[in-house]
Amino acid sequence: MKDADYQMPGFEASANPEKGHTRVSDFSQLIKARLTFLVLITTCVGFYLGSSEPVDVVRLLNVLLGAALAAAGASALNQWWERDLDALMSRTRTRPVPSGRMRPGSALILGCLFAVIGIIYLVVTTNFLATILTAITVLIYVFAYTPLKRISTLNTLVGAIPGALPPLIG
């Protein structure tokens, strides 16, 4: 089946497959997979340091899955919010949304779904503290850090909060 025969909802046919722009790489960029992975490492370290022996692996995996979904959602929402500015900067103009390979509405829906599902997953499988800290992390990242980047260098201080919370979530 050719790319033109199937369109994943929200994704345009890859404009530049020879440049490495595939649906998988676009999705990876949208959720900032490397940043999400770093969030999971710090969450795992926090879980390990807060655990008594032996480590409850099932509980750890539940925390990591919920945190991964929430972090991916926050990243997608961040990119949705900044799509116009991202289109102007050479470092970010090739991201899926500003480049036109993904519709803004699709990024918004994916971001909301991932963030909400991650938080709901945590409330069902872990505890209130992990859930509330994750919700606070998403809210600060999306609604404080992201818009503050355009108006003040204080965004760095505000951004340190969601950066510091994953070990506590663990």
Q: Does 64 fall in a domain?
A: yes
Convert the pLDDT of each residue in 76-98 to its tens digit: 999 999 999 888 999 989 999 99
Q: Does 5 fall in a domain?
A: no
pTM for the complete prediction? 0.86
More confident residue, 25 or 20: 25
Domain hosting 162: range is: 18-169
Angle at the Cα of 163 from the Cα atoms of 34 and 26, rounded to 5 degrees: 25
Instruction: Report the distance separating Cα 85 and Cα 91, nearest Å.
Output: 11
Query: Which pLDDT does position 14 carry in this prediction?
Result: 45
Convert the pLDDT of each residue in 123-148 to its tens digit: 999 999 999 999 999 999 999 999 99
pLDDT reading at 7 higher than 70:
no
pLDDT reading at 17 higher than 90:
no
The arithmetic mean of pLDDT across residues 9-13, rounded, is 49
Helix, strand, or coil here: 102?
A: strand
Q: Does 1 fall in a domain?
A: no
What are the φ/ψ torsions at residue 11 (nearest 5 degrees)?
-110, 135
Q: Does 156 fall in a domain?
A: yes
Exposure on the CB side of residue 17, measured as CA atoms within 13 A: 7
Residue 140's domain is classified under what CATH number? 1.10.357.140
The arithmetic mean of pLDDT across residues 157-165, rounded, is 93
How many domains does the chain divide into? 1
Q: Does 36 fall in a domain?
A: yes
Q: Does 12 fall in a domain?
A: no
- Of the ranges 8-12, 92-96, 111-115, 144-148, the best mean pLDDT one: 111-115
Instruction: Report the distance separating Cα 102 and Cα 31, nearest Å.
Output: 13
Cα 118 to chain centroid, rounded: 10
Q: Does 13 fall in a domain?
A: no
Query: Which pLDDT does position 148 carry in this prediction?
Result: 92
Q: Does 11 fall in a domain?
A: no
The 8 Å CB, 24+ separation contacts for 16-21 are 21/94, 21/96, 21/99, 21/101
Q: What is the mean pLDDT of the chain?
A: 89
